């Protein structure tokens, strides 16, 4: 009985971890976390997209005596892209503006991740906003590739 309960608990934990990353697109970066975010910020701005916030999670953790591997978040967006998604599904505004996260994993690799706009659209409106989300996904994919290219 105890073994069955332990198996159930482990299955729940693994299911939660898998669900937490659903809809996350991650690409490996050859650059450290700060340089990855610097490169993304430059690519975003070069396309006329607004950068609203840059947050260093590791620095914030350090300020309260905690350790976190390098992890930085950037928040960016453009009303020309985001507004049509919110016109289609206004609650998508909870997931906008867009965000990207760069982090160093336990193996020392660097990653750039962002929420798949198609997942955001699906979460809020099913398939009604598909073409809008596809357009945003193309731009994000292009930005991510530009960021991590050597």
pTM: 0.84
Q: Single out the residue of 42, 100, 57 nearest to residue 75, CA to CA.
A: 100
**Among candidate residues 50, 47, 27, 56, the one with its CA nearest the CA of residue 144:** 27
Please provide the size of the chain in residues. 150
pLDDT value for 149: 98
Residue 15: pLDDT band with limits 50, 70, 90: very low
What CATH code is carried by the domain that includes residue 92? 3.30.310.70
Could you tell me if residue 139 is inside a domain?
yes
Q: What is the pLDDT of residues 33-88, one digit of tens each?
A: 999 999 999 999 999 999 999 999 999 999 999 999 999 999 999 999 999 999 99
CA atoms of 88 and 82, how far apart (whole Å)? 10
| Domain presence at residue 15 | no
Number of domains composing the chain: 1
Residue 130: what pLDDT? 92
Is 51 in contact with 75 (CB distance < 8 Å)?
yes
pLDDT class for 113, splitting at 50, 70, 90?
very high
Tell me the pLDDT band of 32, cut-offs 50, 70 and 90. very high
d(CA 28, CA 111): 4
Report the distance separating Cα 103 and Cα 58, nearest Å. 10
Residue 54 backbone dihedrals phi, psi, to 5 degrees: -135, 125
pLDDT band at 22 (very low <50, low <70, confident <90, very high): confident
The answer to whether residue 71 sits within a structural domain is yes
Domain that holds residue 87: 24-148
In the predicted model, is pLDDT for residue 120 greater than 50?
yes
% pLDDT > 90, the chain: 83
Return the pLDDT at 5: 39
In a domain, 54, yes or no: yes
| 5: in domain | no
pLDDT at residue number 21: 78
Output the pLDDT for position 127. Answer: 80
């Amino acid at each position: 009985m105890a073994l069955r309960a332990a198996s159930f608990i482990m299955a729940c934990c693994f299911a939660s971890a898998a669900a937490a990353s659903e809809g996350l697109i991650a690409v490996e970066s050859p650059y450290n976390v700060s340089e990855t975010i610097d490169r993304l910020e430059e690519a975003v701005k070069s396309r006329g997209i607004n950068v609203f916030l840059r947050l260093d999670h590791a620095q914030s953790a350090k300020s309260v005596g905690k350790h976190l591997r390098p992890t930085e978040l950037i928040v960016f967006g453009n009303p020309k892209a985001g507004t049509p998604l919110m016109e289609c599904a206004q609650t998508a505004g909870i997931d906008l503006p867009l965000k990207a996260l760069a982090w160093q994993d336990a193996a020392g690799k660097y990653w750039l991740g962002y929420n798949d706009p198609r997942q955001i659209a699906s979460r809020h409106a099913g398939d009604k906003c598909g073409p809008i989300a596809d357009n945003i996904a193309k731009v994000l994919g292009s930005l991510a590739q530009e960021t991590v290219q050597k």
